[in-house]
C-alpha cells in the first residue's frame, strides 16, 4: 500500500527569541513554537511555549488563560496573534495560535 500524497509539511516551527506584546507591554523572551497541517480543520494550526513571560513584563500584567498575545519572530512577515491557554509546571505560558503563525515555511 502506498503512502497518501500530501503537500503539507508536518514539522514547521521556530525556537529562539521573539518580541511578545501583552496589553501594550512588550518583552523579548525565548519561545518555542510548532505547528502542523490539521486535515480535519483543513489548515495549519500552531501552538507554543513562552518562557519567562511573567518575569519579563511589569507586575500585574494580565496573563490568565484567554489573554491575547502578539508574537513577532526575527525575519517574519509580521506579528501573529495567540491566546494563553495555561501555565505549565515551570511557569511557562502555553499559547494557541489564532492567526497565521509568526514563522515561515508553513502551508496557508
Mean pLDDT of the chain: 89
What's the structural domain count of the chain?
1
Residue 104 lies in a domain: no
DSSP E strands in 1-108: the ranges are 12-22, 25-38, 43-50, 68-72, 80-87, 93-97
* Domain coverage including residue 32: 12-97
pTM: 0.84
- How high is the pLDDT of residue 2? 47
CA 104/CA 88 separation, integer angstroms? 26
Query: Which alpha helices (H) appear in 9-91, and where do they start and end?
Result: 53-56
For the domain that residue 28 is a member of, what is the CATH number?
2.40.10
- For 64-101, the pLDDT digits (tens) are 999 999 999 999 889 999 999 999 999 999 999 999 99
Angle at 58 between CA 55 and CA 63, to 5 degrees: 70
Residue 105 has pLDDT above 80, yes or no: no
Please report the pLDDT score of residue 8 as a whole number: 41
7 part of a folded domain: no
Whether residue 75 is contained in a domain is answered as yes
Domain annotation covers residue 48: yes
Amino acid at each position: 500500500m502506498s503512502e497518501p500524497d500530501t503537500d503539507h509539511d508536518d514539522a514547521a516551527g521556530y525556537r529562539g527569541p521573539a518580541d511578545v506584546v501583552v496589553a501594550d507591554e512588550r518583552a523579548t523572551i525565548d519561545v518555542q513554537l510548532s505547528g502542523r497541517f490539521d486535515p480535519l480543520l483543513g489548515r495549519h494550526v500552531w501552538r507554543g511555549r513562552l518562557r519567562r513571560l511573567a518575569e519579563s513584563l511589569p507586575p500585574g500584567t494580565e496573563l490568565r488563560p484567554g489573554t491575547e498575545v502578539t508574537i513577532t519572530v526575527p525575519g517574519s512577515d509580521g506579528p501573529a496573534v495567540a491566546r494563553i491557554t495555561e501555565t505549565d509546571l515551570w511557569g511557562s505560558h502555553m499559547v494557541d495560535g489564532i492567526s497565521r503563525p509568526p514563522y515561515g515555511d508553513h502551508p496557508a
